[in-house]
Amino acid sequence: MSASREIAGRGEPEGQGRRGRPLPRRAAFALPLAAAPGAGAAQPASPSLTVIGREGWLFPLWDRLDRLDMGALRQVLQMQAEAIGILKRGGIETVILLLPSKGRVYRRFLPEGMRVSAEVDRRYGTVAAELGRAGALVPDLDTAFREAASSDPHWPLFFRTDTHWTPVGAELAAVRTARDMLSRLRLPPSPRPGTALGEFRMMRLAAGDLLPFLPPAQRANYGPEESPIRELAQGAGGGLLEDDVADVQVVGTSNVQPRFGFQPVLSNQIMRPVGLAWRPNNIGPYAALVEYLRGSEFRLRRPRVIVWNHIEGDMMGLPNNQSWQRAAMTPRAFLEELRRAVA
């Protein structure tokens, strides 16, 4: 299977092979999505942490779309550039899996009067360019997500009531990431195959994580959401369960947890096992990376590549940001942990 094959084609995937069926085309699947409850005109912005947009879409208030603190962003980029250098000197390539902002991708559903500033619109490109110069591989998920959201909206890339991507978004990201990894990183052939993929099933999200911020009366307007996700091929374990031979490691927060399916699709597309270490988002990507590097798994099997997951909006906060709660640490402590681990 070619890893450069985009998520494409409406309808069932075709041609069962040893490693599973080809990936479907960009966010276009055969099953219809039920009409969204409470859909209609946009409502005024909620005074809570949730913004209510058109057709009932919910957006996190903490992802500021109207302004950009360039000073804060420069600090984060400088620190991350140092982290990338530390890993590279330790023989580890870094892939930054940067999730685009839900509000920018689905700006057509923002409430009346809410706009994306020109600076915020350039934020993703600024981050990708700077971290690329520092030596990281940063797949352009922003362009991929915007194109998919505008050209084929049948299956959303983010859940309407949640901060997380859907399995459709995760699959698109995995395919794009794999394509760039295969074309730009010199990975030797793997002695083990990637994860074999099977048919689709429907993943059901009972309640989005933005709903608790709404008044109870408004929550009642929303029901469960569904999105197609890949099953593993029957009897498939290679590349997903055989982590003891994985030389690619995904590290991040809740978007890369198994329920969304990013890891097995990436493994399938780069044709090798992929390990996974994730923590909830209130722990944050910095503590998640430190915890992985401190662990016995890293000491026993140092990967060639770490795919480090970030959310675009979180790139505005250093490791000591209060959002990370007890997992917060100073930038200096974070970098020292990296140096100690990879020395």
pLDDT of residue 17: 34
How far, rounded to the nearest angstrom, does the alpha carbon of residue 247 sit from its chain's CA centroid? 20
**Phi and psi torsions of 51, nearest 5°:** -100, 130
User: CA-to-CA distance for 324 and 328, rounded, in angstroms?
Assistant: 5
Q: Using alpha carbons, list the distances in angstroms from residue 86 to 92, 146, 194, 300, 303.
A: 9, 33, 28, 19, 14
Measured distance CA(306)–CA(5) in Å, rounded: 23
Judged by average pLDDT, the poorest of 156-165, 242-251, 298-307 is 242-251
Q: Is the pLDDT of residue 18 over 90?
A: no
Q: What value does the mean pLDDT take over residues 74-88?
A: 97
- Whether residue 5 has pLDDT greater than 50: no
C-beta of residue 213 within 8 angstroms of C-beta of residue 49:
yes
pLDDT band at 208 (very low <50, low <70, confident <90, very high): very high
pLDDT at position 148, please? 95
Q: Has residue 237 got a pLDDT over 80?
A: no
Alpha-carbon gap, residue 76 to 331, rounded angstroms: 9
Q: How confident is the model at residue 48 (pLDDT cuts 50, 70, 90)?
A: confident
3-state SS record for 271-319: CCCEEEEECCCCCCHHHHHHHHHHCHHHHHCCCCEEEEEEEHHHHHCCC
Name the band, by pLDDT with cuts 50, 70 and 90, for residue 243.
low
Name the average pLDDT for the chain: 85
**pLDDT above 70 coverage of the chain, percent:** 83
pLDDT value of position 244? 61
Local confidence band at 49 (pLDDT 50, 70, 90 cut-offs):
confident
Above 70 in pLDDT, residue 179? yes
Task: Provide the pLDDT confidence category of residue 235 given band limits of 50, 70 and 90.
Answer: low
Q: What is the pLDDT of residue 234?
A: 76
pTM across the whole model:
0.85
Separation CA 139–CA 173 (nearest Å): 8
- 324: confidence class by pLDDT, cuts 50, 70, 90: confident
| Nearest residue to 171 (alpha-carbon basis) of 23, 323, 55, 3 | 23
pLDDT band at 282 (very low <50, low <70, confident <90, very high): confident
**Lowest-pLDDT range of 31-45, 118-132, 231-245, 315-329:** 31-45
- pLDDT of 21: 37
DSSP letter string, 23-86: PPBTT--SSPPPPPTT-SSPPPPPSSSEEE-GGG-EEETTS--S---HHHHHHHHHHHHHHHHH
| Top-confidence residue, 55 or 14 | 55
Max Cα separation, the chain?
56
Beta bridge pairs of residue 232: 197
Q: Give the integer Cα–Cα distance in Å for 51 and 110.
A: 8
Statement: residue 1 has pLDDT above 70: no
Instruction: Name residues whose C-beta falls within 8 Å of residue 144's C-beta, 6 or more positions apart in sequence.
Output: 172, 173, 176
Q: What is d(CA 116, CA 118) in angstroms, rounded to the nearest whole number? A: 7
Judged by average pLDDT, the poorest of 66-75, 236-245, 312-321 is 236-245
pLDDT of residue 39: 36
- For residue 247, the cross-strand partners are none
CA distance 255 to 311: 9
- Name 9's Cβ contacts closer than 8 Å, sequence gap at least 6: 24, 25, 28
- 32-41, 74-83, 218-227, 262-271, range with the lowest pLDDT: 32-41
Q: Give pLDDT tens digits for 131-176.
A: 999 999 999 999 999 999 998 778 999 999 999 999 999 999 999 9
**pLDDT for res 154:** 83
Does the pLDDT value for residue 125 go beyond 50?
yes
The answer to whether residues 93 and 134 touch, using CB atoms and an 8 Å cutoff, is: no
Pick the closest to residue 230 from 192, 198, 194 (CA basis). 198
Rounded to whole angstroms, the Cα distance separating 32 from 226 reads 10
* Alpha carbon distance 54, 237 (integer Å): 42
Q: In terms of Cα–Cα distance, which of 160, 149, 163, 164 is closest to 61?
A: 163
For residue range 88-99, list pLDDT tens digits in order.
999 999 999 999
Q: Lowest-confidence range among 224-233, 234-243, 262-271?
A: 234-243
Residue 322: Cβ-neighbour burial (10 angstroms; 0-12, 13-18, 19+) = exposed
- The domain ranges of the chain are 50-342
